[in-house]
Chains A and B, each alone.
Chain A
Amino acid sequence: MSIDAQTASMLNADDIRDIKAEMAHYPDKAAAAVEALKIVQRRQGWVSDAALTAVASLLDVSTAQLEAVATFYNLIYRQPVGETVIHYCSSVTCWMLGADDLRERLCRHLNARPGQISPDGRYTLLPIACLGACDQAPALMVGERLVTGVGAETAVTEILGEQS
């Protein structure tokens, strides 16, 4: 399969259009690398080897260069994750005010350890560095939603925005 055919099979027309629009913002299209990986991730959930290769050819960089970028970042997933990723802050203030307890409560509810996909496929729990909400610790992100002030009294279903 040629690289162009592979790109076409891994990325749909919308992805390619969105990535090209990002590339247009910069004198060097490689600058769109992180945004391109996020675009792929929004539809596919994570960045597979095949998707990575396809994006690299679109950006005109080597697969190795894009891999060095993809593996560098906390928010780019190089293995499958649940439908929603929960990032709980593991940095100092949240740690001091109960992040470990929060992590264990979430693990019990999801029936998965950090990094795993919950058995129902809905969630993956991951630690993240300081979310900049230290005045309302502990904090976490459910998908793109910041949830703060999550004490022991806050039910996990409420944190996740599920019907209890």
Chain B
Amino acid sequence: MDAAAKPLTRNILPDRDYATLADYERSGGYQGLRRAVSELSPQAVQQQVSDAGLRGRGGAGFATGLKWSFVPTGEDAPKIRFMIANADEMEPGTFKDRLLMEKDPHQLLEGLIIAGYAIQATQAYIFLRGEYHLAARRLNQALLEARAGGYLGRHILGSNFSLDIHLHAGAGRYICGEETALINALEGKRANPRAKPPFPQVSGLWGKPTVVNNVETLCNIPHILHYGSAWYQSLGRGADKGTKLFGASGRVRRPGVWELPMGTPVREILEDHAGGMIPGYALRGFLPGGASTDFLLPEHLDVVMDYDAVSKAGSRLGTGTMIVLDDKTCPVRMVLNLQQFFAGESCGWCTPCRDGLPWVVVLLQAIIGGQGRSEDLDTLTDLVRMMAPGNTFCALAPGAMEPLQSALKFFRADFEAYITGKTPPLEQADEYY
């Protein structure tokens, strides 16, 4: 595949630490921004991104151009608006945004500046996970270079558009990836999600119109502006457009992340790119897009990685980075690990999540510890229902229920084997750090 078919990772080379401004410019960098601010109106930029068919890469898959279009425009619209890059990558099993920021920081900056132009933002922020120290250094360096190069600051590339970007590093909490929690976190408040509506595009950061886009989403924007929406559409293999960073971790031969067309079959990712399972291990199932997606089975290997195709198979594309379950890892214990993560990361704001997730953990610990009763599986099913979408304040608990409900369906015998004593209990099943 040539570099034009891999726009997001064309600057990520095995023998180069990261792309400097000069490297980035040599590869056509900042041409998309130049075109946007010198030739196109903000509405035309929005239209081009809508035409390209770009959907959010953070997990929800919302159409990016449509998201931007909700920002009020016109004479009466608020003059202060904010554009935010969501760089709070923390979904277990996900390792794509870190790569993009560490290896090609200017690509994110250019995407963020163009997005800022499209909504006529007056200030932009990158909300970066506090643990990503190397990404922070590279981004801060890139910000200095971009300001010196005239790509950022007053009158960008001689246009009437001015914008600055400030890097805001968090201090580590999963819920900060939820866009309204992120806004509270940025304001210096406890990062509980906010009620919607109002949506951030109308009333977000400090009550002003605000758009929050994922890092990978923003990294697509410069290329759409530079090469056009028709070119972008041609990159997809299925219903969805463009390329995406897909990944695999677990007991595969070559864990990693690869830029591939949307619509690439799971089999190609796991077998060709990840090299199949490590000898001695067989594929039992996989979470297609991070910890908060439903398990799929080997029978789903021919599902293509498109938003709707993965939904139809019973899961979600999510972040597109797969976690592989092998035949020697206990699915019940894997689900316990996932639920401990979600219970620990619940912000505690709404009752179903705050009390429901620890209850799930206690029941799973009892089952794995040999104290489980068959009715516990009914209770777990009830808890899945009680934490379904619509019953909680945000998507954290419903997301947590996805691997649980699918494990109860696909791996029920593994749960029952602990309850009947067929699987020996794990000592200290309630130990967790």
Residues of A within 8 A of B (CB): 25-28, 30-35, 37-38, 59, 61, 65, 68-69, 72-76, 87, 90-93, 95-97, 103, 114-115, 127-137, 141, 144, 146
Contact = CB atoms under 8 A, between A and B. Distances in A.
Contacts of B255: 134-137
Nearest to A88: B433
A135 B341 contact: no
Interface stretch (B28-36, B169-177, B350-358): B169-177
Given A34-B188, A130-B90, A92 B334 contact: yes
A73 B172 contact: yes
B249 A137 contact: yes
Nearest to A113: B433
B172 A135 contact: no
Given A69-B190, A72-B190, A134-B255, A103 B433 contact: yes
A93 B323 contact: yes
Given A73-B172, A95-B337, A30 B131 contact: no
Contacts, number: 142
A28 B187 contact: yes
A113 to B, nearest CB: 8
A136 B206 CA distance: 39
Contacts of B171: 34, 37-38, 73-76
A77 B130 CA distance: 14
Given A31-B186, A127-B433, A132-B94, 6 more contacts: A26-B166, A31-B168, A33-B188, A74-B130, A128-B131, A129-B344
Nearest to B89: A132
Interface in B129-145: 129-134
24 contacts: A34-B130, A38-B130, A38-B169, A59-B188, A72-B347, A75-B131, A91-B291, A91-B337, A92-B337, A92-B341, A93-B92, A96-B329, A130-B90, A130-B92, A130-B93, A130-B94, A132-B98, A133-B98, A134-B92, A135-B247, A135-B249, A135-B256, A146-B133, A146-B134
